[in-house]
Structure 1
Amino acid sequence: MEIKECVDDAQRKYFLLANQILTAWFRSCMILSNSRLYIDLTVEESFAMGVTETVFTTKDYLGLARSLGGLIESHAAEGDKIGTMAPAVVDAFRAVNLWDIFLPKEAGGQGADLLTFLEVVEEISRADASTGWAYFANMLSATFFASGMGESGVKDVFGGTGPSRTVTAASLNQPGNVRQVEGGYMVSVDATHFASGAGHADWLAAGGICEFADGSKDAVQYLVRRDKVEFLGNWEVFGLSGTGSYSFKVPEQFIPEAYTWKAAAWQPLRGQRDLHTGLNYMAVTGHTAVSLGTAKRALQELVKAIDASKPRPGGVPAHRDSEVFQYQFAEMDAKYRSVRAYAVECVRDAMSTVYAGKELTEEQRQRGNQVNTFGVHMAEEVARFAFVWSGSAGLRGGAPLGRNLRDALVENVHAIVDPYTLTLAGPVLMNAYRAVPIDVVPKSAGVFDHKKK
């Protein structure tokens, strides 16, 4: 199917009708053949023709993410400039239901598995790290809320059954005030920070420590509508500039019980088995995916620059003919592919465990932390290598390699990849090499794991 333009509204309506007919036909074929089907019309071509409802009905989520790559890349500089995801990209994600692929089916999502989550976030991050970072934060927060909130809250926020295009963002470092009252909580927050994806979110989450009538304490988190918070801005940063990780204030207000959850007691009440890996494991999977996408883009852009290189004065060969460069490029490619293979291995192992109805072992949790932290270090090394060898290609304003390096550096300062994560993982991972494992008491389960040990 290759249609380059629609001249008038009549043609556009005809095209939409044709899409509907083809969609029905594709669905019937899928039922009969139980196979994936693909169409040649890209999302960008659909948008160029004014079509905002496409016929992407298969579960080829990775192919869908790839089809958006050009659109994401073309708006990356705009995202950096305005400090949040470009509106055209937000709208494109809504139009093809990309926001809800990991959301539980009971909340109107598509219930994709954790490996799909990794691959889709990697691909979007390859197109632009800021977009991938915000997308993963939005998608993960929505999944967390939709799986753990009360039924009426889920229906209001996510619309119950059917495609959900609701976007959420969160800042869950519990700096606020929470007081239990009849039917819910009175809450307020003077300032909570780093709410990645907040710039285009419909709902935002915050939290605070609540002291209950029996004297016990717990972190209570909640969702609040966008128009009920005050944005404080302050996202003018060196890298990952387009993530919209704004600070915001929550004026004192009442939050019904159905829009809240207790952090220490959180368990998925609905959704796919993958959610039982826990918030921290899903979070490190998303962070790992961003790093993988960042590294892959660095290598792609470097090859473009190297292919255009020329011999230099004094008989110095072009970079592409340099044996030093060729050796180092092979090393960097191996590092990227090694981390990716290990990440996929970890995710598949975790999925096998929770699908068998078991909880992740401490070794599995720490391997998730390990591959995440090591992956971020790898991405920085690859991005730095690509920038240096690209010559002047990365120096210009808006050059992908320059932005790529800045993003990779900023990925390294997140708390979830603090070097201490490897210190915590080491004693646990050593058991894999002992004939008789010894007991190791974990000092921490993870940045986003609030469960008491």
Structure 2
Amino acid sequence: MDCELLSIAKSLSPLVEQEALTTERDGTLSPAVVDAFKESKLFWMLVPKDLGGLGTDIVTSIEVLEEVTRADGSSGWSLMANSGTTAVAAAYLGERAVDAMFGGRDLPIAAGMLGPGGRSVEVSGGFQGSGKFAFGSGCAHADWFGAGMFVLDDGKPRLLADGTPEVRVCFVPKEQVNILGGWDVMGLIGTGSYDYELPDQFIARDSTLERSSTEPLRGGPVFELGLPGFACAGHAAMALGLMKRALQEIARISSAKKRPGYPSTISEYPLFLKEFGLNEAAYWGARAYVLDVFSDAQDTVNAEQPLSPEQRARFRQSTTWLHQVAADVVSFCHLWGGSESIRNPSVLGRCLRDMYVATQHVFVDPITVVDATRAILPRWNISEH
């Protein structure tokens, strides 16, 4: 783990927290926070060093995102989206595309929805495609946009060897997309997750990557985790940060808050103490499991060994389960917060809203655990050992 980078994140937390209401009011990261993430290079913490980034490991990135999210959920989510998307472009795109993105005076910030919101056909030298996309988190301050597109042959999705559709993720300058707005939500309000349109255009093959690829062109072994691994790490960090902040808030509130019928402050009431103890243990237990899953994966790829199907499945299992745990912990904190949970501005109220919006992301849909368990179940079948 890079302790120095985590210290930088902690040093920015007061600013991120101070700007949280501005970020939420504006619906996107405040200019002060954008500037701070640029100056500290947190936007590029996962980008390879030879392209100007910090080249950190996946576990450090989780802890950094957890800390920023603890200060403000929307800011952590935006940093997750921008840092992950920019790093993916740096590792997987061809040389000409990387030169165009990273060869200028300023490092790029990328955003976008990398799932298949568009359609394309293969043409000479690349792909011709278009589409409308939602959830472009962090796109208001981005200069490059990613967009996932099905590849069609005779009007039907082209299939990969494993039977899944081929999805090409293309990256284009912001001037080649139209931001449509449309981010009016109850939580994660400040993420600027706007809809956008990619008008019909040619995208050179060099500026695309296949979404399921785990073979980076540069950047080292960490990128062998693939896009799903990076996404799971980011979403897990978000849930951890929101859980941690909610526990901190209810610990502060309970030490002074009294309720009618309670003999003293909430912090001395046995029922609260029991429930806080269990929820605090849930935070530490979930955190330990997630960090163990990603540490194990990092160690495996660093040893130049391939990740097993079980290891990849545990990315999804741990992240989706963590969101269920975090939702319960944040709900507990919100319940005991009383009026401080509902009178704006309320940090606990914001934690609850952000957490429940995060649980609705397709990436942590309960079906992901069903799919993941198929690769995990054999470990527990003693007849197979």
TM-score by length of 1: 0.79
Say if 2:151 is the partner of 1:210.
yes
Matches within 5 A, 1:82-161: 82-159=26-103
Give the aligned residue type for 2:274: Y
Q: How far has the Cα of 1:315 moved from its partner?
A: 5.7
Matched residue, 1:338: 285
Pick from 291, 313, 327: which aligns with 2:274?
A: 327
Q: How many Å separate the matches in 2 of 1:192 and 1:282?
A: 20
Q: How many Å separate the matches in 2 of 1:329 and 1:317?
A: 17
Matches within 5 A, 1:219-368: 219-265=167-213, 267-310=215-258, 312-314=259-261, 316-368=263-315
Q: How many Å separate the matches in 2 of 1:114 and 1:353?
A: 12
Matched residue, 2:107: 165
Q: Taking every aligned residue pair, what percent have the same amino acid on both sides? A: 37
Structure 1 residues 314-341: Cα deviation after superposition (integer angstroms, max 9, x where no partner): 5632211101101110101000000001
Specify which structure has the bigger relative contact order, considering alpha-carbon pairs within 8 angstroms and separated by 6 or more residues. Answer: 2
Say if 2:144 is the partner of 1:197.
no
Matches within 5 A, 1:419-438: 419-437=366-384
SS in 1 for 2:382: coil
Give the aligned residue type for 1:271: G
Give the aligned residue type for 1:288: A
Say if 2:354 is the partner of 1:407.
yes
Q: How many Å separate the matches in 2 of 1:393 and 1:318?
A: 15
Q: How many Å separate the matches in 2 of 1:347 and 1:297?
A: 22
Q: How far has the Cα of 1:427 moved from its partner?
A: 4.0
Tell whether the 8 Å contact from 1:229 to 1:248 is kept in structure 2 after alignment. yes
Q: Give the total of aligned pairs.
A: 377
Q: How far has the Cα of 1:134 moved from its partner?
A: 1.4
SS in 2 for 1:278: helix
Matches within 5 A, 1:382-421: 382-421=329-368
Change (3 A) 1:152 1:327: same
Tell whether the 8 Å contact from 1:99 to 1:165 is kept in structure 2 after alignment. no
Change (3 A) 1:122 1:232: same
Say if 2:129 is the partner of 1:187.
yes
Tell whether the 8 Å contact from 1:239 to 1:407 is kept in structure 2 after alignment. yes
Q: How far has the Cα of 1:285 moved from its partner?
A: 1.2
Tell whether the 8 Å contact from 1:178 to 1:207 is kept in structure 2 after alignment. no
Structure 1 residues 34-68: Cα deviation after superposition (integer angstroms, max 9, x where no partner): xx9xxxxxxxxxxxxxxxxxxxxx96110000000
- Which entry has the higher C-alpha Rg, 1 or 2? 1
Give the aligned residue type for 1:238: M
Structure 1 residues 177-208: Cα deviation after superposition (integer angstroms, max 9, x where no partner): 3233343333322x211111112211101132
Matched residue, 2:163: none
Structure 2 alignment gaps of length 5 or more = 159-165
Give the aligned residue type for 1:168: A
Give the aligned residue type for 1:275: F
Tell whether the 8 Å contact from 1:97 to 1:165 is kept in structure 2 after alignment. no
TM-score by length of 2: 0.92
Q: How far has the Cα of 1:264 moved from its partner?
A: 4.8
Change (3 A) 1:185 1:315: closer
